Structure 1
């Protein structure tokens, strides 16, 4: 493995930090991952929908793409496993590279291992290491020992993310639909679901939304699992230390020939000096060098130290891990690091005291202002309670004046239109038409009725001409009130002719 070419910072991380690393890797290579993803999965999705349509079983359009997810996961893993070593493939290279990867484990993943919640971590071990079945089981026991719960949690979290994405897309689509296009009640919705064409259309829409949600979340699921795998390999095999030594070796090799020559010349000089001084002097020089390097003289205690070290190695407590938990304060005061204040009138203490006084002053002002506001509101409410009859009569007068309509509705609206009050003319036309439509339908005019409500009421009219005329008036008022688009004189005149503006015999 060429660790020198790895493009991520190798160090032991927690599980959450490793998942964050996977998200960063996916974001850095998003274009290559999703281009290969759609190039591989979109044709398979279309084939699944075709099979569902030909067999007459729409639920296959939902089930088959979901069941083939382990097959789809090969694409993001291939891109990220190459991108880690700075060899990011294109989408064409990714599709060609699938033929060189083993397919036996993928077949197992889409059959008896389909419901495995550890797939995100198992997938890189099976596809990247290429070990035998016996070695794979032993290898998985080592890798999954601290990662089993993390991998399962990642699976369920991504499943919830997909559910949220699915519901968000469906809700957003319903928000964009006009109110009159929705069914009047759940009874009508149930009747609509009984129609085969409507049922097939809804299942197809659900399949498409599910595919979009899967395309957004599934690469993140694979990237997070791959990052957990890399982190576990780093913990077990000390990749970070290995990489540090490799870089140190390369840095020493890059120093050049001069260092090699200098070492050779130094060796020749030491050899010549040792030949002149004799064996005894050479032995004393070596002992002196060792004592200087380790800052301790050599004596007979080394043998006893070796015996004691071997005895310690035999202790069963050596080399084991013990986890000790105890309660501590989040912010422990460090008295040794605290410097005594220079003086009781330090600038920091003075500023803190000033801010404290200012905050208490603002709190007092806010309380006084709240009291004054409450007193005024209570005073106003008492005045209203003292004169209820006058207030109610005024309200009734306003309601009557607003609801009153002229006898000649068409003439009044035409005069307002001619004088340039187009919005007022359309408002009068809309209000009068709705009141007369309610009278024709023998219903009371709802106080909070909207344009969409009147469009639904218009469906109850048996006469098609009256229904179309009422819909035209409502649509014209909607365009004028919300979009500022007013009709022409000819179109406005056509709205004033006939029912419901003109009183005609029923």
Structure 2
């Protein structure tokens, strides 16, 4: 990877700006990304749903396609990693490269790393750098650590967007239902789901999930790739390196003519060799009478320091200005890298603390602490025991049901089949009373109800069909001219229904009152 070939502007960015950089890169190369992405995922969708249709389990296809998302995300990563250097691969090249691109790391991303929250950031580290196992772990810590939280938020946001699109596709179906039929359509859909949806409904749901994943997946990978580029630029100072390279190129371009002119003018400016040999060196002593050079006079200080005032205007020992400039440079947050660390420390270290309490009081405190500890454990055990014993009362709430308190069970009247005579007896009231006193309350009330029905039908001169229900008999009883007879018949029907369907029998007084009123109203002979 050569930073000078990057087609993006490298500068210090926050993690959120880096995600937007990845999205912009995806929009610029949308065709090169979505063509292989759609072809690969559409083929996998067709094969998975065809197999699931044959098995009759369409949910298996949806689960399989969701689990294989990291394998498809390699396509987007491959295209963007080449396009950022100015060479976007074609559709065929991108699909053929998947057989070898990151194949060694694919099992890991389909097993224990499948549910990793920072997959969009860490997958480029593993697939693009191809380091050894130990070095890859270090690179994941260096590049992924500072941006791990932002990558996790990215995963959560994209998952919610996919869910919103999926629900939107389902809700779009009901937009075509007229408003007056919407309630019935919703009830019918709920009934179909409860009874077990057909296979085509599962395939349609898989199609909606595929549409949502196809729309959001490339943006998820592109945003993670932008995070990866930003982290590499920060850790390896790509922006500084590129700035120095551009400065070097600019200086070379401008200094080349000047260097050529100096090279051409040096022979003209150089002194003659004889004059150079005869001229004494600066600071050298004049030659003596015998032609030998006198020793040089001592120069205070170092010879190198003698040139510093001429170059810098100050001595090497006077470095106050240099230190001030360095201090101002380190005040820059991009260079200094200072941070504030806050930690709690005791005012008095434990080694300096004196013993304020006597030994017997410390021993008593330790015993009290031990008793309190065992008391808390005992309290926890009692609490768990209470929870276990009361589980039948509160456990139905967690299962979605409500456990209603039991009512006192009413005595079972008679659950056997009723054997009533074909014709009514001559003394109806005496027969009903005898059955009641024998403990056969339900047959007694059944005979009372049957006799009341026939008496009511005879009074209104109506013919009831065989198997007429209580509701039908009540509608016929509205033809009675006597209001008291109509009220009495309704009461008889209600008492019979309570006894027959709810097992609720009237008391002795209520039964006697009802039997006496019926005998008087319908004129049963005693």
Q: Under TM normalisation by the shorter chain, which class is it?
A: 0.5 to 0.7
The alignment's TM-score, normalised by the length of structure 1, stands at 0.55
Equivalent residues in 2 for 1:50-69 (5 A)?
Answer: 50-69=50-69
SS at match of 1:176: coil
Match for residue 77 of structure 2?
77
CA 1:285–1:102: 2 relative to 1, 3 Å: same
Which is greater in Rg?
2
Match for residue 238 of structure 1?
237
Cα RMSD (Å): 3.6
Q: What is the CA distance between 1:62 and its match in structure 2?
A: 1.1
Match for residue 209 of structure 2?
210
Q: Supply the distance in 2 between the matched residues of 1:292 and 1:165 (Cα, whole angstroms).
A: 74
Q: Supply the distance in 2 between the matched residues of 1:82 and 1:131 (Cα, whole angstroms).
A: 19
Matched, 1:20 2:20: yes
Q: Supply the distance in 1 between the matched residues of 2:77 and 2:181 (Cα, whole angstroms).
A: 44
Q: Supply the distance in 1 between the matched residues of 2:53 and 2:224 (Cα, whole angstroms).
A: 35
Residue 108 of structure 1 contacts residue 114 of structure 1 at CA under 8 Å; is this kept in 2?
A: yes
Q: Supply the distance in 1 between the matched residues of 2:218 and 2:26 (Cα, whole angstroms).
A: 8
Q: What is the CA distance between 1:244 and its match in structure 2?
A: 1.2
Equivalent residues in 2 for 1:320-331 (5 A)?
Answer: 321-323=338-340
Q: Supply the distance in 2 between the matched residues of 1:279 and 1:51 (Cα, whole angstroms).
A: 97
Q: What is the CA distance between 1:55 and its match in structure 2?
A: 2.2
CA 1:272–1:207: 2 relative to 1, 3 Å: farther
Q: Supply the distance in 1 between the matched residues of 2:14 and 2:210 (Cα, whole angstroms).
A: 32
Q: Supply the distance in 2 between the matched residues of 1:23 and 1:164 (Cα, whole angstroms).
A: 20
Match for residue 440 of structure 1?
none
SS at match of 2:175: helix
CA 1:185–1:299: 2 relative to 1, 3 Å: closer
CA 1:185–1:244: 2 relative to 1, 3 Å: closer
Q: What is the CA distance between 1:206 and its match in structure 2?
A: 1.1
Q: What is the CA distance between 1:65 and its match in structure 2?
A: 0.9
CA 1:253–1:205: 2 relative to 1, 3 Å: same
Q: Supply the distance in 1 between the matched residues of 2:99 and 2:92 (Cα, whole angstroms).
A: 12
Aligned residues: 313
Question: Greater relative contact order: 1 or 2 (C-alpha under 8 angstroms, separation 6 or more)?
Answer: 1
SS at match of 2:9: coil
CA 1:271–1:181: 2 relative to 1, 3 Å: farther
CA 1:138–1:271: 2 relative to 1, 3 Å: farther
Equivalent residues in 2 for 1:89-100 (5 A)?
Answer: 89-100=89-100
Residue 56 of structure 2 contacts residue 199 of structure 2 at CA under 8 Å; is this kept in 1?
A: no
Q: Structure 1, residues 254-282: CA drift from partner, whole Å, max 9, x if none?
A: 45853442343466678759968776489
Q: Structure 1, residues 95-119: CA drift from partner, whole Å, max 9, x if none?
A: 1222342311112101121111111
Equivalent residues in 2 for 1:328-339 (5 A)?
Answer: none
Matched, 1:109 2:109: yes
SS at match of 1:184: helix
Match for residue 33 of structure 1?
33
Q: Supply the distance in 1 between the matched residues of 2:188 and 2:246 (Cα, whole angstroms).
A: 71
Equivalent residues in 2 for 1:246-285 (5 A)?
Answer: 246-255=245-254, 258-265=257-264, 280=282
Q: Supply the distance in 2 between the matched residues of 1:167 and 1:191 (Cα, whole angstroms).
A: 19
SS at match of 2:218: helix
Q: Supply the distance in 2 between the matched residues of 1:300 and 1:270 (Cα, whole angstroms).
A: 36
Q: Supply the distance in 1 between the matched residues of 2:5 and 2:281 (Cα, whole angstroms).
A: 48
Q: Supply the distance in 2 between the matched residues of 1:281 and 1:76 (Cα, whole angstroms).
A: 73
CA 1:199–1:180: 2 relative to 1, 3 Å: farther
Matched, 1:298 2:297: no
Task: Give unpaired runs (5+ residues) of structure 1.
Answer: 326-506
Q: What is the CA distance between 1:2 and its match in structure 2?
A: 2.3
Q: Structure 1, residues 227-251: CA drift from partner, whole Å, max 9, x if none?
A: 1111111111110011111222233
SS at match of 1:261: helix
Match for residue 455 of structure 1?
none
Q: Supply the distance in 2 between the matched residues of 1:127 and 1:278 (Cα, whole angstroms).
A: 70
The range that moved more, 247-256 or 132-141, is: 247-256
SS at match of 2:85: coil
The range that moved more, 176-185 or 22-31, is: 176-185
